Amino acid sequence: MSLIHSAGIQSLKEGLSKLKERFDGVQGEPYIVESKKFKALYFDSESTQSLMDMQAPIRLVVSYTETMMGFLLFHPDPQSIAMIGLGGGSIAKYCHHHLPKASILVLENNPKVIALKDQFHVPENSNQFRVLEADGAAYLRNTEEKFDVLLVDGYTKLGQAAQLCSEDFYASCLACLNPHGVLVINFSGAAGLNQVYQERIDRVFDHPSVLVVEDDRMNQILFVGKDSSLETPSEDLLRRSAVLARTHDIHLARTTQNFLAQRKIDAH
């Protein structure tokens, strides 16, 4: 989920808003609006759940999704990825395409969102890629599966679901990660609440988290590891970013700089 406020995307959002005014007032139902260049998923006129470039369906359009892919700095070749929240499947599609060795599980509790996945070119279920209708918190609490990367981007019209920001949920995340696993969460909303959530995470994990504020100021992306991988020296992360940029066109250099700047602030 993202509130889109960058200059280029803002003009796009205004154009799409004119197209979708007739949909406003729908009771939290997901709906799709198309322009000539983009297809967008909405729950209401205030927030864009997902945005797809019609000419390049795999490309990540919204900046926060690129930042979430910053997990590549710590896990460049993950074998197992779990995601809570499908939306239009932007990150799921990107990972499926660019990380073909990874087994990908997407948990989405809204069947009406899942019903729209074909319109966003989300891959069909297979041995390597699964979209399941499930409550993400309940699934993690009860599963014995382990993941290298866990991505949480679960929102409703009213904001982040309560079951995805409790201390019990964060404990389930920790239990589901492999020894070198990384958890990445998209926070969108009140900074004060995000700080509360971060404090809960820091109580559960043995290693400090890093909360990166997006350039649009509307999203904050939290990174936390099961081990000390997030404490990798700056020079090594910059070097990894340069190597990854050869195969990933997702502004990893920007993400790395923002991550390092926030980590330095947190260290003080």
C-alpha to C-alpha distances, 142 to 109, 114, 137, nearest whole angstrom? 16, 22, 9
Residue 83 burial (CB count, 10 A): 26
Q: How far apart are CA 220 and CA 235, in angstroms?
A: 24
Is 215 designated active site?
no
121-125 contacts, C-beta under 8 A, 24 or more apart: 121/52, 121/57, 121/58, 121/89, 121/93, 122/86, 122/88, 122/89, 122/92, 122/93, 123/92, 123/93, 123/96
Q: How far apart are CA 85 and CA 65, in angstroms?
A: 12
Catalytic residue among 118, 153, 202, 236: 153
E strand or H helix at 179: strand 177-188
CA 178 from centre of chain: 19
Return the bridge partners of 32, or none.
41
Q: How far apart are CA 51 and CA 9, in angstroms?
A: 10
C-alpha to C-alpha distances, 99 to 75, 76, 95, 218, nearest whole angstrom? 11, 9, 5, 28
The set of catalytic residues is 153
